[in-house]
Amino acid sequence: MVAASAGRFSEAGLAQLTEIVSHYPDPGGAILPALWLAQREYGGWLPAEAIVEVAARLGRPASEIQGVASFYTMYNMQQRGRHHIEVCTCLTCGCLGAYEVIDELERILGIHLGQATADGEFSLTEAECLNYCEAATVVQVGERYFGGVNAENAADLIARLRGSEECTPVSLSNAIVEAIVPGYFASSAHG
């Protein structure tokens, strides 16, 4: 059961939340999915009002919801750039040029890791293993993945992002996996 509350959840979002709550024997199970919905409804991050609304809708204390949300890295507790670029630097990517990609992205964007551009278009962080190691170096931008990124084609990545539609933060659908190097995924698919 989803309670009435002030807030920003749309009709569609509320319908989805009601459906999700019905999947669980206890409404607690709906906390993570509700936070995903809230992140979408609030434009890609979870301001304090979003936490309060999720808490009210699920009948839980806001402190509990805040505690859960802040544990997980994909819930954005701060606003990020419209294109939030996460470069995997873990073991395989780190050995196959991820740090050169970061150097190049920092140069192109004029920012350092952990910063956003002044116009709010781009923010840049490193990521832990994205489990696309066969396509190292892998870059995640919202719902999109780019494989085979290197220092030479990093500028192409930025050009593609600049020209693209709004890149929504990860929600529950519409994923696109893209290869910066044409045919990269095809050539690595053997057998």
Partner 1 sequence: MAELQVLLQHRNVPGIDGIDVYESHGGYAGLRAALGKERQGVIDEVKASGLRGRGGAGFPTWIKWNGLPKSGPAQHYLLCNADEGEPGTFKDRELLLKLPHMVVEGMAIAAYATRSTNGFAYVRGEFVESAAQLRKAIDQAYRRGYLGRNILGHSDFCFDLHIHTGAGSYECGEETALMSSLMGERGQPRLKPPHGPLPVVSGVWGSPTLINNVETYACVPHILTHGGAWYAAMGTQRSPGTKIFSVSGHVARPGNYEVELGTPLTELIELAGGVVGGALKAVIPGGSSVPILPAEKCAGVTLDYEGCQAAGTMLGSGGFMVFNDKTDIVALMRRTAQFYAHESCGKCTPCREGTRWMSRVLDRITSGAGRMEDIDLLLSICDQIDGRSYCPLGDAASWPIRAGIRNFRHEFEHWVRHGSSPISGFVPPVRSHGPASVPGRQE
Which residues contact partner 1 (rule: CB under 8 A)? 23, 25-26, 28-33, 35-36, 67-68, 71-81, 84, 86, 89-92, 94-96, 99, 102, 113-116, 123, 125-136, 140, 143, 145, 170-177, 188-191
Nearer to partner 1, 65 or 161 (CB): 65
Taking the complex as a whole, the smallest distance from the CB of residue 115 to partner 1 amounts, in Å, to: 6
Nearer to partner 1, 10 or 187 (CB): 187
Q: What is the dihedral of CA 29, 31, 32, 36, to 10 degrees?
A: 140
Nearer to partner 1, 23 or 182 (CB): 23
Taking the complex as a whole, the smallest distance from the CB of residue 188 to partner 1 amounts, in Å, to: 5
Give the end-to-end CA distance of the chain in Å, rounded to a whole number. Answer: 49
Nearer to partner 1, 9 or 75 (CB): 75
- Long-range CB pairs of 172-176, under 8 A, 24+ apart, other chains included: 172/36, 174/143, 175/143, 175/144, 175/145, 176/143, 176/144, 176/145
In the chain, what is the greatest distance between 2 CA atoms, to the nearest angstrom? 55
Q: 38 in helix, strand or coil?
A: helix
